[in-house]
Amino acid sequence: QVQLQESGSGLVRPLQTLSLTCAVSGVPISSAGYSWSWIRQPPGKGLEWIGYIYQSGRTFYNPSLNSRVTISADRSKSQFSLTLSSVTAADTAVYYCARERDYSSGSYYDYWGQGTLVTVSS
């Protein structure tokens, strides 16, 4: 049974760095055919794709966040992480980690974490 669990600080001060970790169980994060993603939902708004780390370690980010976001993975701990720098109130959101299953010309998110609320406030 694949499970993902987010953890990290729920309160971040403006202009500081948001850090979250997603612990993965039930499947190695090095497994072929999968990427490991971060997605967020600001209060009252829709889902927003943040980025993902491919099995090879390559990363891809939402261009609107590209300069502030980093996704990394630690295969030995079976987890991957998100850092978002210089946060503002607009970064307040529920952050989800998810497994993205890749296939030719497409992909989908088949497993999600329960989500963690991060509030940016002084």
Q: Residue 106 interacts with another protein (CB under 8 A)? A: yes
CA 112: distance to chain centroid?
Answer: 10
Helix, strand, coil % over all residues of the chain, rounded to 5: 5, 55, 40
Q: How far apart are CA 118 and CA 101, in angstroms?
A: 26
Q: Are 102 and 35 in contact (CB under 8 A)?
A: yes
Q: Residue 113 interacts with another protein (CB under 8 A)? A: yes
In this chain, which of 5, 49, 78, 83 binds another protein, going by CB under 8 A? 49
Assigned token pair, 71: 């996704």
- Select 8 or 16, whichever has its Cβ closest to another protein: 8
Q: How far apart are CA 48 and CA 34, in angstroms?
A: 19
In this chain, which of 5, 55, 62, 85 binds another protein, going by CB under 8 A? 62
Q: Residue 105 interacts with another protein (CB under 8 A)? A: yes
In this chain, which of 15, 47, 72, 88 binds another protein, going by CB under 8 A? 47
Query: By the criterion CB under 8 A, which residues form the site for another protein?
Result: 37, 39, 46-49, 52, 60, 62-64, 96, 100, 103, 105-110, 112-115
